[in-house]
Structure 1
């Protein structure tokens, strides 16, 4: 009898395979719920049935019914592709599972506001993503979602610090984010960087308080000392200090902008760049995601936040078999080896859609996250690259310099989706003179 619960028997020496019941093992092999022959959980149910029972036990109301709001979540738990991981989490009684059980026990519909009551921890956000993915909750405005996080950030801070941070968030960080969202320019990573700016401002204000100073008394020496005691991410304080000075809250304090002042210092040598690229294209021992992402950094100067937002819609081919990747408005011809790696990446099992769960209009990410509707976290991708020995900043710098040698700044900006001013700075590093290019554009303007 064939079945997934295959056991060894003496005939295995001849290369044969037999099912569990035929192997001579006298345990129960038939699921009491569906009759399937399989290895059973607790000797009674197959994995799929045990998962379905656990899902029903979690999601059902006191009357034993699963509400329409949670039917999509039940479907996700019982999908063949997700049943094993769902069983592992449901059986382990994860934190988000306990949270979901509490919310269901109230008998009220689950809302974003109800989730906000539990704070902004990883378990809460994991559950929120699950509920959004399965249609139980509508996607929330990413800008508005920063409010609960901000309140958690300022909780416990002195009144003067919390007041300053709320004002900075409302009149600068969130205001700009909403404007970008209204123009359709808000990226998926925007909330992360908004949180980073607010966190850095909070850290600096706290540091001043610990040193018995207030923002109005802060000096350039204070700023430089604080910057020197930590990582380069502290330079994000620049935005807060510019805002505070414009409001008369502090002196005109300066923070060097790493994007300009340190530009030439963060370059990978040509030999190291080509060695890294060769490793990406040939080392089968590397994570496939690292190989593709590393090549995109080393060839086209892409950053993790943009790489993870690439979808299969950005890929195309021409009649001659060439493969292209659209990084901004124009497609870029891919080397055949890299095109093959990307094709392999898109054909992996984790790119398959879960039937009935993902809308047909949802993007198919090249770097999918834990759920079919989400992409890989850019911080996670950056970590994978670092762990594999790829430093993104110097690798990106080397790629942009190499491209700037061959491409005028306006073309480079249009091709990669960077600003013309940024492309111009890289062109200056590459010491390229574009006088001839500008003359040609004047003589032969684009049609």
Structure 2
């Protein structure tokens, strides 16, 4: 029975829309209470919701997300408090205003939602977001260390990133990698200071000790030390680069690789995201940071029914089973695109993340794969070794978007030379 027919004498009619429902505080249905909370949050000093925030209001009040939006608006999360503060100020919300509040997770979450709903326009160069973050990073450093980090950022990290952006080769994860390099440099310089050392008198023993005390991320110090040596700020210090300077020490055996691939293609109990991503690792040696940047537009089906996936610059033909899984994944309703304006350039990510308009975090994807029994590094190595046994290094590099030197190392592991390929190029030169 409905509420009024049950004999319960409480009020069952929403005072705003007249709907019969369980009411919040005995007055409004869940949808109307959510609408009122959103209106209250986004109304400025003039008593109106600014045109800038209408998309955000639409996001909060979408009918199929009422419960989640109500929990969010009824809570007291940090980014909601920040949004309330900015709206109450009555001024337009800009990227510069958000930069002033730092780069903590709540600020970044609010920034991504405002970009997604069209309240903000993305920067022409995503790496420009690193500059205000850098001010916060070096704020508490001694003057000499701060100057060193700023010089490294300006003349190496950001300069190269801007050059890649100008050539159209800048990935969406570039700001993250830039920040990691700078963070690692600051951590090493701080460690040297704590041990009464300076960058100028740091030794290889210091570097090895520091690397051995932390996670593998510390190996990204290699870039900073190379820059410091080139500018006479440090000795010629060496940092190995996580296995890329030599051949891998651990690969999945062929039977393990094929067994894992069979699971990805046939096990319906696995998360569809894991099945597709795992197959791309096991077949094409892709890494999580590249997989999460794939979009629905990278998958193309031709008239013959064959499907290709653009992994870098070249489309790669997918086996029918993997093509079907990838198509199913792209056909899922992308809940993370809710509230985006029709003119939004937000990509339809193959693997959407928690933040509206953002893709799945690469670290999260790696964790999902490991949990499913697919160790990324050994699985990727096995795939590249198998491909290198069948393809010449230049073809492998062009197909997968890896460097020729890396492809050559994998060819060495597979004990393959390029004599036949070179002879074929001489006999049939490209037109």
TM-superposed CA distance for 1:275, in Å, is 1.9
Paired residue for 1:297, among 281, 286, 292? 281
Q: Which residue of 2 aligns with 1:405?
A: 389
TM-superposed CA distance for 1:352, in Å, is 7.7
Paired residue for 2:220, among 216, 236, 242? 236
SS in 2 for 1:214: coil
Give the TM-score taking structure 2 as reference length.
0.94
Q: Which residue of 1 aligns with 2:417?
A: 433
Paired residue for 1:419, among 403, 415, 420? 403
Q: 1:237-278, CA deviations, whole angstroms, 9 ceiling, x for partnerless residues?
A: 111111111111111111122243353214222122112212
Indicate yes or no: 2:165 matched with 1:181: yes
Q: Which residue of 2 aligns with 1:128?
A: 111
8 A Cα contact 2:336 2:353, kept in partner? no
Paired residue for 1:78, among 44, 56, 61? 61
Q: How does 1:60-75 map to 2 (within 5 A)?
A: 60-75=43-58
Q: Provide the aligned length of Structure 1 versus Structure 2.
A: 430
SS in 1 for 2:141: coil
8 A Cα contact 1:81 1:354, kept in partner? no
Distance 1:114 1:375 in 2: 24
Distance 1:302 1:341 in 2: 17
SS in 1 for 2:87: helix
Distance 1:149 1:356 in 2: 26
Which segment drifts farther, 49-58 or 415-424? 415-424
Paired residue for 2:252, among 249, 260, 268? 268
Unaligned runs of 5+ in 1: 1-17
Indicate yes or no: 2:341 matched with 1:344: no
Residues 375/91 of structure 1: CA separation in 2 closer, same or farther (3 Å cut): same
TM-superposed CA distance for 1:63, in Å, is 3.1
Q: Which residue of 1 aligns with 2:76?
A: 93
8 A Cα contact 1:304 1:382, kept in partner? yes
8 A Cα contact 1:358 1:372, kept in partner? no
Q: How does 1:158-307 map to 2 (within 5 A)?
A: 158-307=142-291
Q: 1:109-133, CA deviations, whole angstroms, 9 ceiling, x for partnerless residues?
A: 1112221222211000101111111
Which segment drifts farther, 432-441 or 322-331? 322-331
| Larger RCO, structures 1/2 (Cα 8 Å, 6+ apart) | 2
SS in 2 for 1:316: strand
Residues 307/322 of structure 1: CA separation in 2 closer, same or farther (3 Å cut): same
8 A Cα contact 1:273 1:395, kept in partner? yes
Residues 360/219 of structure 1: CA separation in 2 closer, same or farther (3 Å cut): closer
Which segment drifts farther, 392-401 or 419-428? 419-428
Unaligned runs of 5+ in 2: none
8 A Cα contact 1:358 1:373, kept in partner? no
Q: Which residue of 2 aligns with 1:138?
A: 121
Distance 2:258 2:310 in 1: 23
